[in-house]
Amino acid sequence: MFCISRQVTPKFNVAVGAVYTGRSSYDSLQINVEGLPPSVVKKDWKNVWRYQLEFE
């Protein structure tokens, strides 16, 4: 995660940020609920960057 914030005026702030999510580190998710048989959910997720721009 990366973020820069700048107070432009006493009532106005600008922020820019980026977040990296590495979801390709696993290809399935096993779900275990007591009393139920285990369930495996296959995933084909990609790694992503999310960018944001905020005005306050």
pLDDT at 33: 95
Q: Please list the pLDDT of the chain residue by residue as tens digits (56 residues).
A: 899 999 999 999 999 999 999 888 888 889 999 999 999 999 888 899 999 999 98
pLDDT at 38: 92
pLDDT at 37: 94
Stated pTM of the model: 0.57
pLDDT at 52: 96
Q: How many residues does the chain have?
A: 56
Question: Which residues pair with residue 5 across a beta bridge?
Answer: 15
pLDDT at 31: 93
CA distances to 42, 54, 56 from 27, in Å: 6, 33, 39
